[in-house]
Amino acid sequence: MSDLTIDLMTAAVTDWPDPEAVRPMLERVAQVRLDDALRGAPLPEGEWCVRRLDVAVSLDPERPSSALESTWADQVLAALHRSLSAGSPEVLHYRRPEDAVDDALAGLASGVTAHAWAWTQMGLARPGDPSPSRDPRGLFLTLLERLARGRAAALARVVEQVGGVRAHRLLGAEGWERAAELVLSESGRPVLSPSLELPGSDRHGIAGSSGRAGPGAGDDARADVAAARQPAAGHRSAPGADPAASAAQDDGHSAADAHAQTVLAASALAMALLRSGLRVGPATLENWATLALGEAEPSLLRRPDPELAALIAALVRRLRGTVSPGRDSMAARAVGRTWPKGGARDHGGSDAAPGARDDAPADQPPVEPPGEPTRWGGLLFLLNTAEDAGVPEALASPPLSDRGATWALHRIGMLLAEASPEDPAVLALAGTQEVPVGDTDDATEAALAQCSARWALATRDRMRLHGDTGENGGTEPDVLARIVRRDAVILRRPGWTEAVLAIEDVDLGVRRAGLDIDPGWMAWLGQVVKFRYE
């Protein structure tokens, strides 16, 4: 389906017998005939924005007005198609709403604001917002706050697109702090968490003294995070220490480190920032860690304060191994010469390590991700029965919660589809581009088997009630194989996944059961999931 947005439509006529009749015709073209024309010759799916389009229309006044209106609408639509082919700057096409968000955020980070009119048409920017030219950081953060969901994923996409240096040049320490605050707010965590204290730190909470989520009030005023002083797993306790407490602390550190490894492998944001070579202060590292959690494992942001603090400290330890605060370089000074107004440097150190670079041209539009073929495309159909099977609750409860949703969903996907660990559908189900790593034990394996069995049963029950299960009701393995074993191409970027399937593979039983209906936004997964037949 295509949505066509036109702010203003006017007509100028010459040599028309009854000029007064043109206005009602124009109104019917805008209100009715264009919709009819779109149904007959649809534009490519997505959101269309038209800034200005001049169309010369030749009409025969002897014909009925209804026929004239239809011809008028057809010629407007044909002009739109021509403008698209010619790459007219007056017509913009966003295949999905996330593409419009990416265009706006990347444009602000790059200083390319020629599409600001379309951002307004899409409802992203509104009257009274900060100016894109005078205060790009203010508008960037306003648009981010306006997103009801997927804030961390949107940040990941823009940093992937424009590079970490440009993103940091725009946001600076204060901007990263505000972004972390917005991501924490989306997760449902209170903005101010006085009890949240990073291990070894002399300050209370990610909220910091400013009362904001995420550290940030003056990176240069703080010493480096003291998380490195935490005892490592297997350390010897000091005389008089409680062995049980020390063992529990070691287990907590080990779990946090395992989560940190999974998050960094799954986080496009973290990888893009690390590739940039930026050197930032400790508070910005903590904010990056918070954002990486929000992108890769959003459920972890709802962990109790001590667990969240340990997770962020573990992520900071890993990030700090690549980026170091407090150092300067000629490259950093070079990239810092032209700051957009509204941007800010990170006061805890320079902005880039030697060789720091932007990873993409400033004016590069969002690129459609490459499709990855799979023979298990129907695995994502099971997301429509996940809540029936209690999957979100199982992922949020021990022992699966001890491993994280990404790791657990990846293992469950392999059990349900009998697919390889690298299969695109299995990775998409888990919301990651990389195969998660991590140890397991008998209790965890039993929980994985139980969860996958409940999921298969819930899917079979849905097919039995609303679709069909084949002859004699079908066994669970047979029904499951019928659903999940189908060719598809998986398109993925942070925050969204699309499975593209062949139109001839539409299964009426699957459709009646509602399994191939778009799940849309899945908060427990942190993704928008869509299915498309071509």
Residue range 240-252, pLDDT digits in tens: 434 444 444 445 5
> What three-state secondary structure class fits 489?
strand
Residue range 440-470, pLDDT digits in tens: 999 999 999 999 999 999 999 999 888 666 5
Pairing of strands 527-533, 496-501: parallel
Q: What was the pLDDT predicted at 322?
A: 58
Q: So where are the chain's domains?
A: 2-93, 128-220+250-335, 372-533
For range 218-233, the mean pLDDT: 33
pTM (two decimals) = 0.78
Q: Where does residue 87 fall: left (phi above 0), alpha (psi -120 to 50 degrees), or beta otherwise?
A: left
For 1-10, 70-79, 492-501, which range has the lowest pLDDT when averaged over its residues? 1-10
Residue range 49-88, pLDDT digits in tens: 888 888 998 888 889 999 999 999 999 989 888 887 787 7
Residue range 268-296, pLDDT digits in tens: 999 999 888 898 999 999 999 999 999 99
Residue range 301-331, pLDDT digits in tens: 988 888 899 999 999 998 886 554 433 333 3
Q: What was the pLDDT predicted at 258?
A: 80
Check the CA dihedral 457-463-465-466 and report its sign: positive
For 352-361, 419-428, 471-480, 506-515, which range has the lowest pLDDT when averaged over its residues? 352-361
Residue 264 and residue 434: Cα distance in Å, rounded?
Answer: 10
Is residue 507 predicted with pLDDT exceeding 50? yes
For range 512-527, the mean pLDDT: 93
CB of 436 closer than 8 Å to CB of 410:
yes
> What three-state secondary structure class fits 397?
coil
**What is each CA distance from 272 to 115, 162, 266, in whole angstroms?**
25, 10, 12
Element spanning 310, H or E: helix 305-320
How much of the chain is in helix, strand and coil states, percent to nearest 5? 50, 10, 40
**What is each CA distance from 231 to 51, 53, 199, 308, in whole angstroms?**
60, 66, 10, 17
> What three-state secondary structure class fits 400?
helix
Residue range 138-155, pLDDT digits in tens: 999 999 999 999 999 999
Q: What was the pLDDT predicted at 241?
A: 38
Q: What is the length of the chain?
A: 534
Residue 237 and residue 254: Cα distance in Å, rounded?
Answer: 16
Q: What was the pLDDT predicted at 203?
A: 41
Q: What was the pLDDT predicted at 366?
A: 62
